[in-house]
Amino acid sequence: MKRELPLLMTAVIGLFMILSFFVPHHLVGVPADFLQQCAVIVVAFGYVLGGANALRVNLEGIARRQPDWPYKLVLVISLVVTVVIGMLDGRRWQEPGTASMFLYNQMYSPMQGTMFSLLAFFIASAAFRAFRIRTVEAGLLAAAALIVMLGRVPVGDALTSWLPESIRMSAFQEWIMNVPQNAAKRAILMGAAMGVMATGLRVILGIERSYLGGGD
Amino acid sequence: MTIHRRLLRAPCALLLCAALSCGGGAVSAQPGESAPPAPAPPSGLVYADVPNDAGNAVALSWRKSPDDSLGLGRVTGYVLERGSSPVGPWETVDSLAAATTEFVDQGVDRNTPYFYRVAAYGPGGLTLALANAGPAIGRESWFNSTRASVLTFVVVFFLLVLYFMSLAQTGRKPFMRRLAGIDAIEEAIGRATEMGRPVLYVPGIQDIDEMQTVAALVILESVARLTAKYETPIRVPVAYPIPFTIAQEMVKSGYLNAGRPEAYDPDSVSFVSPEQFAYVAKLSGIMLRDRPAAHIFMGSFFAESLLLAETGYSTGAIQVAGTANVHQLPFFVVACDYTLIGEELYAASAYLSGEPRLVSGLKAADMLKVLLILLILTGCVLETMGITGLTQWMETQ
């Protein structure tokens, strides 16, 4: 029963949600909206579980003096302070001048920006490896990348200004992006869409049931 | 025909709107100048039920005021009002810019009659159209006919899956090509075992409503089974709470199926944060401090894909990635040893389990793809010949 009931619920609700995509009538649409709202409530409970897990794992790490316990201490203190300040601010927490907004603007945003800015360096190091021409395919990739990069800045057209407009660098990069790049991208997207349908169907029909866990 | 112009009584919102536009308009009358006349009214207001919906919308169109010409400046805009009877009371639906001649009112109750009227306003004042339109009733539909093509494909897909499943049950195992990326997962876990280091499994950065996350969690069960078999620790940091609880079940299930339930460590799966870069910070910390020998990235990724994969590359770990987010694929291809592209991510669980009923779903998807390719080619030929029926049938709303 522990396995049959969730499988039955998944099948019935899954097929009902598929039906709601095709039937706009309120007898289908209203229950479908209700089910989606239920999902929001379940997610809210999930956050309680997630928060409890984060606290338990990190507090245990601190208690056992694991090698990285000071980081865990910072995390636990930050978590508790943020939650307490958010509760003290109440519904006003998004208003300017509140302690929550101070934390957001002065700590959270700069830290997030710092992490994101690392991407610039990582793109450079990854591009260095990607554009090493060791095979014919790598050569094609490097040539296409060069054309696209040059074609998107004024110097690309300046270098090819002596050519007819239709075969200048900008026109060429546009063709690469609109034709071969788009064709490959759409092929991947269509294949992925089929995969989404197949996976969804496997779960709804109960063929894929490993998410229920191993217990009976 | 005489054109009647009447400045009618209007609700406060409507008058306020007109007053504001008089004050701010480009042609507002100056002291000593004669006030411009009120604009001629719009006419021909017609209504129609919006088809294929839940009865919550009515489409309206009208002919613009004869004074609504570019450069004249006598019409600033139109105000559309709605009432429950031909004599009101009226409520403002929306204020629309000059030259607008149609609007869809998406705020009506189904199966309820409404009456509409439209007014033109400008620096000279406000003029209502002579006639109201109504009763307009939003009727709900039982079937959205614009999605008939999608329903056809879904039904065909269901039938194909059932057909291939019945074939699989007769003992005919469907052929499946080798997927190097998935074969590499076992190789990566084997290497981690030799080095005595853990395996890091990252199930993407989106919630359970994203199908890539579902696929990643399904693959996790097979990966956990392998780590249990090789007695190698696995670490699964998860970004959202619902995938976190499912990931716990998946890892537990993997250890149980490998015959080593006692080796399951509840702390192997941890909740981190749905915040993108907080999640990246945690994972970078794991990679640099714990030095897992294998990193497996499966699921939906965004800007963090390269941050994770490059950090992982710098640690020398063997890396296998899989995503259907096309914009992140190039980053994984560059920084990882193996990459599952698009649909290969969804095929991975069937491939790893080898279960014929799961593989039958892949065969059905392949057949549907062939059908789609044929439809695209047919559509190209028909469009070239000027026949647009197939394209229109395929369009969905």
Residue owning tokens 């249990």: B228
Which one of B244, B309, B324 has the shortest CB-CB distance to A195?
Answer: B324
> What six digits make up the tokens of A52?
């409890």
* pLDDT grade for B29, boundaries at 50, 70 and 90: very low
How far is C-alpha B59 from the chain's CA centre? 25
Whether the per-residue pLDDT at B20 is higher than 60: the answer is: no
Q: Output the CA–CA distances (angstroms, integers) from residue B185 to B200, B228, B339, B349, B362, in the order listed.
A: 11, 14, 11, 12, 20
Question: Could you say which DSSP state residue A168 is in?
Answer: S
- Give the Cα separation of B64 and B70 in Å (integer): 12
Domains of chain B: 12-137 (2.60.40.10), 145-172+362-397 (no CATH), 176-354 (3.40.50)
Q: Note whether B307 and A157 are within 8 A (CB).
A: no
> What six digits make up the tokens of B253?
């299930």
Q: What is the CA radius of gyration of chain A?
A: 27
pLDDT digits (tens, 9 = 90+) for B155-191: 998 888 888 888 888 877 777 788 888 889 999 999 9
What number of CA atoms fall less than 13 Å from residue B249's CA on the CB side?
18
Q: Which residues of B41-57 are buried (b: 16+ CB within 10 A; e: fewer)?
A: bbbebebebbebbbbbb
Between A158 and A131, the higher pLDDT residue: A158
- Give the Cα separation of B117 and B103 in Å (integer): 12
Whether the per-residue pLDDT at B26 is higher than 50: the answer is: no
Whether the per-residue pLDDT at A160 is higher than 70: the answer is: yes
Q: Which residues of B touch A68 (CB under 8 A)?
A: 285, 289
Q: Mind telling me how many Å the CA of B312 is from chain A's nearest CA?
A: 11
Query: Most B CBs within 10 Å: which of A107, A176, A209, A211, as the mutation test of the B interface?
Result: A211
Residue A154 confidence (pLDDT) = 92
According to DSSP, the β-strands at B294-298 and B199-202 are: parallel
Q: Cβ neighbours of residue A13 under 8 Å, at least 6 residues apart?
A: A35
DSSP secondary structure string, B168-187? HHTT-PPP----HHHHHHHH
ipTM: 0.88
> What six digits make up the tokens of A33?
């909206």
Chain B residue with CA closest to A69: the answer is B289
> What six digits make up the tokens of A142?
């490097």
Q: Which residues of A touch B144 (CB under 8 A)?
A: 21-24
Q: What is the CA radius of gyration of chain B?
A: 32
| Contact between chains at A211 and B343 (C-beta distance less than 8 A) | no
> What six digits make up the tokens of B346?
């969804």
Residue owning tokens 């945690």: B282
pLDDT digits (tens, 9 = 90+) for B259-313: 999 999 988 999 999 999 999 999 999 999 999 999 999 999 998 999 999 999 9
Helix runs in B86-178, H state only: 148-169
Residue A209 confidence (pLDDT) = 76
The whole-model pTM stands at: 0.82
Q: Note whether A208 and B358 are within 8 A (CB).
A: yes
Residue B326 confidence (pLDDT) = 92
Q: Of B359, B272, B352, which Cα lies nearest the Cα of B320? A: B352
pLDDT digits (tens, 9 = 90+) for A3-15: 788 889 989 999 9
Q: Of A149, A29, A75, A18, which Cα lies nearest the Cα of B272? A: A75
A residues 109-148 closer than 8 Å to B (CB):
111-112, 115-116, 118-119, 122-123, 125-127, 129-130
pLDDT digits (tens, 9 = 90+) for B334-352: 899 999 998 899 888 888 8
pLDDT digits (tens, 9 = 90+) for B7-19: 333 443 444 444 4
Residue B383 confidence (pLDDT) = 95
Helix runs in A64-168, H state only: 69-89, 99-103, 109-130, 136-151, 154-159
- Give the Cα separation of A26 and A46 in Å (integer): 30
As a dihedral over the C-alpha atoms of residue B101, residue B102, residue B107, residue B111, rounded to 10 degrees, the angle is 120
- SS3 percent helix, strand, coil of chain A, rounded to 5, is 85, 0, 15
Q: Note whether A142 and A131 are within 8 A (CB).
A: yes
H or E element at residue B102: strand B102-105
Chain A residue with CA closest to B110: the answer is A26
Q: Is the peptide bond before B89 cis (omega within 30 degrees of 0)?
A: yes
| Contact between chains at A200 and B211 (C-beta distance less than 8 A) | yes
Q: Is the peptide bond before B135 cis (omega within 30 degrees of 0)?
A: yes
> What six digits make up the tokens of B380?
């190209």
